[in-house]
Amino acid sequence: MAGLRFVLGDQLSRTISSLDDLAAGDVVLMCEVADETRYVRHHKRKIAFLFAAMRHFAEELADRGITVDYVRLDDEANTGSFSGELKRAIERHGPEIVIVTEPGEWRVRQMMEDWREELEVPVEIRPDHRFLCSHKRFQDWAEGLKALRMESFYREMRKETGYLMEGDEPAEGQWNFDHSNREPLKKTVTAPKRPTYAVDDTTEAVLDLVAGRFGNHFGSLDDFDYPVSRRQALHYLNWFIDTALPDFGTFQDAMRAGAPLLFHSHLSALINCGLIDPREACDRAAAAYRDGKAPINAVEGFIRQIIGWREFIRGIYWREMPDYERSNTLLARRKLPDFFWTGETDLNCLRQCFAEVRASAYNHHIQRLMVIGNFCLLCGFDPREVQAWYLIVYHDAYEWVEMPNVVGMILYADGGLFASKPYAASANYIDKMSDYCGTCRYSPSVKTGEGACPFNLLYWDFIARHTERLKGNPRMNRTYATLDRMDAEKVRTIRAEAQSFLDGLEASGDY
């Protein structure tokens, strides 16, 4: 029977389950809708990337002889919503069934469930087989556990997939090589030159559309050169495996001003939208290890990010929704300051990160967690505002991956559901892993008074502020022992100066 196959903008894979058993007479529906661009005001570059990738994917399907009904944002009849466009497509094509792959976000899943009640044709919702761990598999793993820890989940995934396994044991006798992946970047180390991708007519039309319709959104469209097609995405993956992966592990936590990508893969947006399958990324990395072209610490770290962290975070999201987004164990209420949007701050580490994300819609994971995220945690910014900011600015951000990372990993707002302690750090960590501090007006070695780095003040203020909640955490025993040994007057000075800094933050308006 003729079916309408509805493919969403983050499902750009020929092997997506909604396109399985595609038959003659079936129509693939794709649409650009206003609702998905404005439920938060996404970075201009994020919108442009996704629309360009969608249009290229639709062209590739059509080139294979597949009938595609593609609705552009500027179509005068566009209703602006998934539901509206699906109803219009049913009127146009008269299908006997609508087939979709489950979405990544809770709100869209609820929308799909409503379609089953509202539409006059049956709606089949298929699992998303791009993920290695099904919802049921994660629930079964988590059932009865007192603590949900990524490391134990990751080991299960290693055993199930066989990646970097030697029989029943991990390759080279270790599950995790993170101890080898924390080297600061020496001045003599140079990041490799990356490939760039020319803007074709399809992408140019999208850039013009986004500039015209979303000119007041955050971010820049200048020098757009990111992959937007399956062919380009595969080229970028191959470049990473051959050129950057060998040094990725050693320097994955390092930061350097003016060098936002270093040895990072920069593949997350391509994986999350479907242009690259996570398995093929892991397959290529594992092959590089087997062939002696990349060391175990680099390959293990890369594969762990995909089959460990990415799968784990998705499992947390679907297990804990819909209440998870409102988590706020530390009772954080402060509003984000204006400089999260303008980038105008004397803190050079933040200024560097904000400039990079404005230009490219990307920061790597240490910038997100230990610079921006750490600052949000220490200042006590409202988790809902922080969630919205991360969802807006990053081109790889979807709620399923953004929310648990912010709520659980960055802000400890869920009270330690899967993080064993808050990821709070003073200026020392940033100074060790970057060159940011050398040109900053603040000094990481100054603890109080003139020139003291706010991260130092905020760190100990955070620790003191949350003594009642956190002192019983075994992983924080040494921290609280240090606080207990501090001179009481010193603690009062630190906390007073921290409060003065916080009081000086100018809160942003709604963005």
270: domain CATH number is 1.25.40.80
Is residue 449 located within the same domain as residue 314? no
Is residue 121 located within the same domain as residue 141? no
User: Distance between CA 79 and CA 87 in Å, rounded?
Assistant: 10
β-pairing, 97-101 vs 3-6, is parallel
Count of domains forming the chain: 3
pLDDT at 509: 54
- The H or E element containing residue 54 is helix 44-63
Domain presence at residue 51: yes
Give the structural domain span for 185: 135-197+226-320
Quick one: pLDDT band at residue 424, thresholds 50, 70, 90?
Answer: very high
Is residue 366 located within the same domain as residue 386? yes
Number of Cβ atoms within 10 Å of the Cβ of 333 = 11
Quick one: pLDDT band at residue 510, thresholds 50, 70, 90?
Answer: low
Domain presence at residue 46: yes
- Residues 294-353 have pLDDT tens digits of 999 999 999 999 999 999 999 999 999 999 999 999 999 999 999 999 999 999 999 999
pLDDT at 1: 58
Does the pLDDT value for residue 461 go beyond 70? yes
Is residue 252 located within the same domain as residue 168? yes
User: Distance between CA 57 and CA 13 in Å, rounded?
Assistant: 8
pLDDT at 163: 98
Average pLDDT over residues 355-371: 98
Is residue 72 located within the same domain as residue 143? no
- Residues 328-341 have pLDDT tens digits of 999 999 999 999 99
Does the pLDDT value for residue 507 go beyond 90? no
Q: Which residues contact residue 207 at a Cβ distance below 8 angstroms, ignoring those fewer than 6 apart?
A: 48, 52, 199, 221, 224
Which of the listed residues 104, 126, 148 is the one where a domain comes to its end? 126
Quick one: pLDDT band at residue 219, thresholds 50, 70, 90?
Answer: very high
User: Distance between CA 363 and CA 202 in Å, rounded?
Assistant: 27
Average pLDDT of every residue of the chain? 96
Q: For the chain, give the percent of residues with pLDDT over 90.
A: 97
Q: Which residues contact residue 138 at a Cβ distance below 8 angstroms, ignoring those fewer than 6 apart?
A: 153, 311, 314, 315, 318, 319
Domain presence at residue 292: yes
Quick one: pLDDT band at residue 234, thresholds 50, 70, 90?
Answer: very high
User: Distance between CA 2 and CA 244 in Å, rounded?
Assistant: 46
Please tell me the pTM assigned to this model.
0.96
β-pairing, 27-31 vs 165-166, is unpaired
Is residue 23 located within the same domain as residue 106? yes
Does the pLDDT value for residue 511 go beyond 70? no
Is residue 114 located within the same domain as residue 235? no
User: Distance between CA 414 and CA 428 in Å, rounded?
Assistant: 26
pLDDT at 478: 96
Is residue 346 located within the same domain as residue 470? yes
Does the pLDDT value for residue 506 go beyond 90? no
Eight-class DSSP state of 99:
E
Which of the listed residues 103, 126, 149 is the one where a domain comes to its end? 126
Cβ(284)–Cβ(238) below 8 Å: yes
Domain presence at residue 26: yes
Does the pLDDT value for residue 180 go beyond 80? yes
Quick one: pLDDT band at residue 293, thresholds 50, 70, 90?
Answer: very high
